[in-house]
Chain A
Amino acid sequence: MGSKTPLFDKHNEAGARIVDFGGWDMPLHYGSQKDEHHFVRQNAGMFDVSHMTIVDLSGERVRAFLQYLVANDVAKLKDPGKALYTAMLNADGGVIDDLIIYYMTDRFYRLIVNAATREKDLAWIRENAASFDVGVVERGELGMIAVQGPNARALAVSSIDSDYRDAAMAMKPFFGMQAGDMFIARTGYTGEDGFEICMPAADAAEVWDQLLAAGISPCGLGARDTLRLEAAMNLYGTDMDENISPLEAGLNWTIAWEPADRDFIGRTALQALRNSPDRQRFVGLLLEDRGVLRNHQKVVVDGVGEGEITSGGFSPTIGKSIALARVPAGDYDRATVEVRGKLLNVRIVKTPFVRNGKIRIDIAGETQ
Chain B
Amino acid sequence: MSDLPGDLLYTKDHEWLRREDDGSVTIGITDHAQSSLGDLVYVELPEVDQDIDEGGEMAVVESVKAASDVYAPIGGSIAAINEDLADDPEKINSDPYGDGWIVRIQPSDSIDEGALMSPDDYQQFIDDLDD
Q: Do the beta carbons of A292 and B65 come within 8 Å of each other?
A: no
Given A222-B38, A290-B86, A340-B60, are A33 and B65 neighbors across the interface (CB < 8 Å)? yes
Q: How long is the Cα–Cα vector from A321 to B42 in the complex, in angstroms?
A: 10
A291 within 8 A of B: yes
Residue numbers in B under 8 Å from A316 (CB-CB): 64
Q: How long is the Cα–Cα vector from A28 to B39 in the complex, in angstroms?
A: 12
Q: Do the beta carbons of A292 and B39 come within 8 Å of each other?
A: no
Partner of B44, one of A32, A291, A314, A321: A291
Q: Do the beta carbons of B42 and A34 come within 8 Å of each other?
A: no
Residue numbers in B under 8 Å from A321 (CB-CB): 41-42
Query: Which A residue's beta carbon lies closest to that of B69?
Result: A340
Contact residues of B between 57 and 109, Cβ < 8 Å to A: 60, 62, 64-67, 86
Q: Do the beta carbons of A226 and B86 come within 8 Å of each other?
A: no
Q: Do the beta carbons of B60 and A34 come within 8 Å of each other?
A: no
Q: Do the beta carbons of A222 and B65 come within 8 Å of each other?
A: yes
Partner of B41, one of A29, A222, A292, A340: A292
Given A314-B64, A340-B60, are A34 and B39 neighbors across the interface (CB < 8 Å)? yes
A326 within 8 A of B: no
Q: Do the beta carbons of B86 and A292 come within 8 Å of each other?
A: no
Q: Mark A2-29, 1 if CB is under 8 A from B, else 0.
A: 0000000000000000000000000011
Residue numbers in B under 8 Å from A314 (CB-CB): 41-42, 62, 64
19 sampled A-B residue pairs with Cβ under 8 A:
A28-B65, A33-B38, A33-B39, A33-B65, A34-B41, A222-B64, A222-B65, A290-B42, A291-B44, A291-B62, A292-B67, A294-B67, A314-B41, A314-B42, A314-B64, A316-B64, A321-B41, A340-B44, A340-B60
Partner of A291, one of B38, B39, B42, B65: B42
Please give 6 more A-B residue pairs, beta carbons under 8 A apart, in addition to A291-B62, A314-B64.
A33-B38, A33-B39, A34-B64, A314-B41, A340-B44, A340-B60
The interface centre, meaning the residue of A32, A222, A314, A321 with most chain B CB atoms within 10 A of its CB, is A314
Q: Mark A249-271, 1 if CB is under 8 A from B, else 0.
A: 00000000000000000000000
Q: Which residues of B contact A (CB under 8 A)?
A: 38-39, 41-42, 44, 60, 62, 64-67, 86
Q: How long is the Cα–Cα vector from A46 to B86 in the complex, in angstroms?
A: 32
Residue numbers in B under 8 Å from A292 (CB-CB): 41-42, 62, 67
Query: Which A residue's beta carbon lies closest to that of B42?
Result: A292
Count of inter-chain pairs, beta carbons less than 8 A: 36
Q: Mark A68-107, 1 if CB is under 8 A from B, else 0.
A: 0000000000000000000000000000000000000000
Residue numbers in A under 8 Å from B38 (CB-CB): 29, 32-33, 222
A313 within 8 A of B: yes
Query: Which A residue's beta carbon lies closest to that of B35?
Result: A17
Q: How long is the Cα–Cα vector from A129 to B91 in the complex, in angstroms?
A: 56
Residue numbers in B under 8 Å from A226 (CB-CB): 64
Residue numbers in A under 8 Å from B86 (CB-CB): 290
Given A226-B64, A290-B86, A340-B60, are A32 and B39 neighbors across the interface (CB < 8 Å)? yes
Chain B nearest Cβ from A35, distance in angstroms: 8
Q: Do the beta carbons of A33 and B64 come within 8 Å of each other?
A: yes
Closest 5 CB pairs of A and B: A314-B41, A34-B39, A292-B62, A33-B64, A292-B42
Q: Mark A203-232, 1 if CB is under 8 A from B, else 0.
A: 000000000000000000010001000000
Chain A nearest Cβ from B43, distance in angstroms: 9
The interface centre, meaning the residue of B41, B42, B66, B86 with most chain A CB atoms within 10 A of its CB, is B41
Chain B nearest Cβ from A250, distance in angstroms: 23
Chain A nearest Cβ from B116, distance in angstroms: 28
Q: How long is the Cα–Cα vector from A122 to B70 in the complex, in angstroms?
A: 44
